[in-house]
Structure formats: structure tokens, C-alpha cells
Amino acid sequence: MIVSPPKNTEDTSISFTNGPIGVVLSAWSVRADSLVDPDPKVPGHTPITVIASENAPKFDIREPNQALRFATFLLHLRHIHAPRLAKRFDEARAEFMKRWDNNDPSLKWTMQGTDDEHAVRFTKEMEGRKALPNLFPPKTQIPIYKKSPLSERAGSA
């Protein structure tokens, strides 16, 4: 049994049962034209639904305790979590749109950009490592005193 998500929503949770096991999955949809490599055969306004099923909470509804937990979990999602999440999205929307309209570089992530950042950091670290021998000379370059001047004074007193 699949419980269908509410209409006109993009973010949702899906609950289903497989025999006596109830599972809650997380799902969301994106427009086809927002994908990195969109399929030219799919119209841009088409919603693409993504379902995350890893580490989903599972409940054995044969046991009254777990059946109650499953029902409570679903009620909590609907009546507590969903309104809080909607409020947080609404609060963040204006700031996000401002950043989006200003072409904020933090929203333009690419693998190449990350590689470039790591290359700069790696180069600095390697240059720092080249300076290490000057800071910590090998023991053969450290002068070794056979007798400490302090030990000679202590012996003469």
C-alpha cells in the first residue's frame, strides 16, 4: 500500500507497508530543466521525483508498540515537522532568491571549482613542508655538548 503525497507539493514523505513492515521514505521533486544534464526529450517543466530510501525508519506493525510508533511518527511529520519546515523555507526564500539573482558563487558549485580550491590549498601545504627542514634541522646539525656548563659549575662548588 502506498500513501500518495499531497497534491501541489514538492517536498514530501512517503509511507508504505510491505506486509507487516511500515517504512517512511523521503521524496522530493525537481524540474527536469534544473538537472545538470537534462534529457532533451523531456520537457523542462516536467517534475522529476527523487526518492531517498537509505536508512529509512522501519516499523514492524504486527507489534502494538511499533504500530503506535509508526502512526505517531506519521502524525508528527504531518502536524509538527511539515509546518516547521514550511516556515523555515519561507523565511529563507527571500535571502536565497537575493543570492540567486546576484549570481552568488556559493550557489554555482562545480567539481572543477572544488578541484581548483584543493589544488591551491595543496600547493600552499607543499610549500610549507619545504620550509620544515629549516625549522627542524636533523640531529646531526644540532650541536651536542658533552658536558653542560651547568654541570661543571655544580661539580666545582
Instruction: Give me the average pLDDT of each 10-residue run along the chain (157 residues).
Output: 44 68 83 80 82 85 92 90 89 89 80 80 86 73 62 56
Beta bridge partners of 52: 26
The confidence score (pLDDT) of residue 44 equals 81
At residue 1, the pLDDT reads 37
Task: Supply the pLDDT for residue 68.
Answer: 93
pLDDT for residue 66? 92
Task: State which residues form the domain around 13.
Answer: 9-31+46-70
Q: Are residue 121 and residue 90 in the same domain, yes or no? A: yes
Do 49 and 69 touch, CB atoms closer than 8 A?
no
12 phi and psi angles, rounded to 5 deg: -160, 170
Pairing of strands 21-31, 47-52: antiparallel
Residue 53: partners with Cβ closer than 8 Å, 6 or more residues away? 23, 25
Q: Which pLDDT score is estimated for 150? A: 62
Domain count, the chain: 2
Cα 22 from Cα 72, distance rounded (Å): 12
- 21 and 66 co-located in one domain: yes
